[in-house]
Each structure stands twice: as C-alpha cells, then as structure tokens.
C-alpha cells in the first residue's frame, strides 16, 4: 500500500533526530578526525553525482528504493516496485543484506562489498560510483536499520551527500554518518555492470562477488565479468578458472582451451589441467587431452574431489580411445609417429 510521503518524511526525520542523539551518546568518531587532519591523497575536495536518480522511499522499503537508485545509476534502469518482491521481507519489514546483494545480481549487476572506511566510500564516489550503505538510525540496543545511497562528499563542509529515504539530497556530517554507519557494522557495497569493478574492492570480496554473479548470469556476461577480474588480479586461480568455465558455457571451446591452458601454465594446478583435458577431448585432440589429464592426476594426489575428477577424466579419455579402435586386429595400422601427446602404444 502506498504511503503519504510527507508522513514518511516526518517519521524519517524523527528517526534521524534519534540517530543524532544516539551518536552523541555513542562516543567519539574515530575515522573522521583522521580524515579531516590528513585527507586522502588524490581525491577532489568535493564530489556530487548529481545525475543519480531519486526514488522516494515507501515506508519500511528503503532497501528497494536504495537498490533501484544504485542500479539505475549504473545504467541498469530499475524501479523500486520491480525489487519489492525480490528483496523486501514483509515479516521483517525490511531487506536483509544478503537479499540486497542477491537482488543486485539478479538484476544484472556485479555487487561487491567494499572496505568499511570513509575513504573507500569517498574514493568510490570520486570514481563515479554510488555506494549503498547500511545505517542504524536508532541506538545500539534499539536499532532502526536503514539503507541509503552515498552520492558524494564535501571535505570543506565536512559532510556526505546521500539519497536517503524521502530526502533527495541529504547532507550528513562526517561524524554523524560515521556513527550511524559504524553501528551497522560499516557495511557497504557498490553495484556495477559486468566489465567494471569498484576501485576499492579487495581481491577476496571481488572474487566472492564474481562467483556469485556467475550463478545467475548469462555466460557471455559472466565471461565479461571474469575477464575484468583476471585483468586486475592475474594471479587468482579462481577467477582464471571462472573465465574458462564461462567461455565453455558459451560454447567457445577455443576460448575455453586458451583460458585453461593459460591457467595450467601459470598455476600448475590440477583443476586447470583437468578442465583443459576435458575441453581438448571435446575438440577431438585426444593425445593432448590425455597428456593434460595425466598432469591433472599427478598434481591432484590420491584423495579428494579433484583427484576423483582427474582420474575420471583420464578414464573417459582412455575409454574414448578404445571405442575408436578397429574391432578386427588385422585392420589395425601402426601410426608412423607417436600420437600428439606421446600416447603409449
């Protein structure tokens, strides 16, 4: 049911007052003094992403409003009502963090949790990325959870700018923002289309986000997302394998072979050799496939899922060779030279 926006705004402002009172009772801000004393290098003094859409919040539905704002700002046009059934939990009168991330991914975005620092929030907005933040506008012992979208900051005026609830352009002092954010665990994420990643994303969070994105994304978009990850973190085996798997899912056997071969050479890993062997077999290159499978078995050891998979791949390759052999022994011909990969005779 739609609510009167003025009533929602009054209720929201009361919540903001309670948050400010709670901030005053909650102790001193920790990051803000350091930030003002020594502003991060390379950042402009002021940023405001003025083109960011604004969706006034329905009561208890700050999650859909905030997520629709972030997705639309990332060139993935979305309306809050498109998300209500996906991320809003009526029994909780809100949206869980995991639902916010999943909702972003189901909408075609790579959603990455960023570091819980004021500097990270500022660097993202300076890079043109809006940041969804979780705040506690109540008290630690009586929380009032709220999602908002940071669209900029002003170092001289010492405040952040947010799309928040029914307020299109909220100016929130650094120390107040820090208190409300800190009481919510300093949780924030950036949602971007595949092919882009947050500038402050760390490797582990980005890897987790890309693997989660792949589960629901079309293979072509998963490939694009993984390629961006591999470009930034070329030493990450999970991302390299993801790129190969996405290419395989697209039906691009040549691209998959190239990705798995590169991963095998770089990481000397059983999983990479195993997948390379499977692709080579499907391409009809049985000798090379068997050579890769033998490497997979060697690297995998004797126990575990990858060891079982490597042995199964090798057996499948050998069985395919038997199926191709002539039934009449007199029809057999010894090849003039060993098969590619040195298959024993």
CB distance 105 to 211 below 8 Å: no
Confidence (pLDDT) at 57: 77
* pLDDT exceeds 90 at position 18: no
Binning pLDDT at 50, 70 and 90, where does residue 338 land? very low
CA dist 231 and 293 (Å) reads 27
Q: Which CATH class is domain 252-326?
A: mainly alpha
User: In this predicted model, what pLDDT tens digit does every residue of 23-77 receive, in sequence order?
Assistant: 444 456 799 999 999 999 999 999 999 999 999 876 657 888 999 999 999 999 9
- Ranges 221-225, 254-258, 298-302: which has the least confidence: 298-302
CB distance 193 to 74 below 8 Å: yes
CA atoms within 13 A on the CB side of 208: 13
Binning pLDDT at 50, 70 and 90, where does residue 143 land? confident
Q: Which is more confidently placed, 9 or 283?
A: 283
Q: Where are the domains of the chain?
A: 5-192, 252-326
CB distance 111 to 67 below 8 Å: no
pTM of the model: 0.83
Strand-pair category, 188-192 with 110-113? antiparallel
- Ranges 69-73, 81-85, 242-246, 275-279: which has the least confidence: 81-85
Binning pLDDT at 50, 70 and 90, where does residue 2 land? very low
* pLDDT exceeds 70 at position 334: no
CATH T-level fold of 5-192: Cathepsin B; Chain A (3.90.70)
Confidence (pLDDT) at 242: 98
* Strand ranges for the chain from DSSP E: 46-48, 110-113, 131-136, 145-154, 159-164, 167-173, 188-192
Buried b (16+ CB within 10 A) or exposed e, 176-197: bbbbbbbbbebbbbbbbebebb
Binning pLDDT at 50, 70 and 90, where does residue 337 land? very low
Query: Quick one: tokens of 230?
Result: 């591999």
């Amino acid at each position: 049911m739609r609510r009167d926006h003025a009533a929602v705004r009054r209720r929201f402002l009361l919540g903001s007052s309670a948050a400010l009172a709670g901030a005053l009772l909650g102790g001193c801000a920790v990051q803000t003094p350091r930030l003002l004393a020594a502003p991060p290098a390379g950042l402009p003094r002021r940023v405001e992403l003025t083109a960011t859409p604004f969706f006034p919040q329905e009561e208890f539905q700050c999650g859909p409003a905030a997520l629709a704002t972030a997705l639309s700002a990332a060139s993935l046009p979305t309306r809050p009502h498109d998300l209500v059934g996906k991320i809003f939990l009526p029994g909780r009168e809100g949206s869980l963090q995991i639902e916010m991330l999943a909702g972003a991914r189901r909408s075609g975005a790579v959603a990455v949790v960023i570091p819980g620092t004021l500097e990270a929030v500022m660097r993202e907005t300076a890079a043109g990325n809006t940041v969804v933040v979780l705040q506690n506008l109540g008290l630690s012992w009586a929380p009032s959870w709220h999602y908002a979208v940071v669209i900029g900051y002003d170092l001289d005026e010492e405040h952040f700018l947010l799309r928040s609830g029914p307020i299109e352009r909220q100016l929130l002092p650094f120390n107040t923002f820090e208190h409300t954010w800190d009481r919510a665990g300093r949780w924030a994420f950036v949602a971007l289309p595949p092919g882009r990643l947050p500038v402050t994303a760390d490797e582990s969070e980005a890897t987790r986000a890309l693997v989660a994105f792949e589960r629901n994304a079309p293979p072509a978009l998963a490939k694009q997302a993984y390629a961006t990850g591999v470009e930034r973190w070329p030493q990450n085996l999970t991302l390299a394998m993801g790129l190969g798997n996405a290419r395989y899912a697209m039906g691009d056997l040549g691209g998959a072979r190239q990705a798995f071969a590169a991963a095998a050479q770089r990481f000397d890993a059983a999983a990479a050799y195993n997948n390379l062997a499977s692709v080579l077999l499907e391409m009809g290159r049985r000798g090379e496939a068997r050579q890769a499978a033998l490497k997979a078995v060697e690297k995998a050891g004797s126990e575990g899922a990858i060891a079982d998979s490597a042995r199964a791949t090798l057996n499948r390759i050998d069985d395919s060779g038997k199926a191709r052999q002539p039934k009449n022994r007199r029809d057999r011909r010894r090849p003039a030279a060993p098969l590619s990969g040195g298959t024993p005779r």
